[in-house]
Amino acid sequence: MTTKTKLVCGLVAIFAAGIVVGGSVGFTAARKNQVPAPTEQKREHGSKRDFADKWCSKLSDDLKLTAEQVEKIKPITEETSAQLKAVHAENGERVRAIFKASHERIKSILTPEQLTIFEQKNRERENRIRKEREGREASSKSPKC
C-alpha cells in the first residue's frame, strides 16, 4: 500500500469515527433535552373544586395555616374559583361565536368538495374537544382542603 493510499484510508477512518461519535453525542443530547409532545404534557384543568382545593392546599402548605385558618380561607378560594369559572364560560361563549361567524364567512368561499372537508375537520375538532372535556370532568377529584 502506498503512502498516499494509507493517508486517504486514515482520513476516511477518522471521518467515519467523527460521524459515529458526533451522531452519538448529538442523539444523547437531543434525548436529554427532548420536550414532550403536547399530548404527553399533563394538563391540569378541571372543576372549580380542583382549583379551589389546589389553591387552598398550596396556601396551607406554604403558609403553615392552622385548621381554623383553612376553614376561613376555603370558602374564599371556592368563591374565587366559581367566579373564574363563570368568566371562563363567558369567554368560551364569545370565542365560539367568533369562530361560528368566521366559519360561515369561509363556507361561502369554498367549493362543495372543500366544504365537505371543512365541515368534517370541524366535526373532528369538536369531538376531540368534547372528549378532552369529558376526560377532565371524569378525573376531577374530591376536595382535600
CA distances from 58 to 42, 68, 69, 83, 118 (A): 19, 16, 13, 19, 44
pLDDT score for 43: 47
Sign for the CA dihedral angle at 88, 119, 131, 38 comes to negative
The number of helices, as runs of H, and strands, as runs of E, in the chain is 4, 0
Q: Rounded to whole angstroms, how far apart are CA atoms 58 and 83?
A: 19
pLDDT along the chain (145 residues), means of 10: 84 85 77 61 52 89 92 92 88 89 92 93 90 75 56
140 C-beta neighbours (distance < 10 Å), count: 14
pLDDT score for 143: 53
pLDDT score for 120: 94
Domain boundaries of the chain, sorted by first residue: 1-34, 40-138
pLDDT score for 49: 56
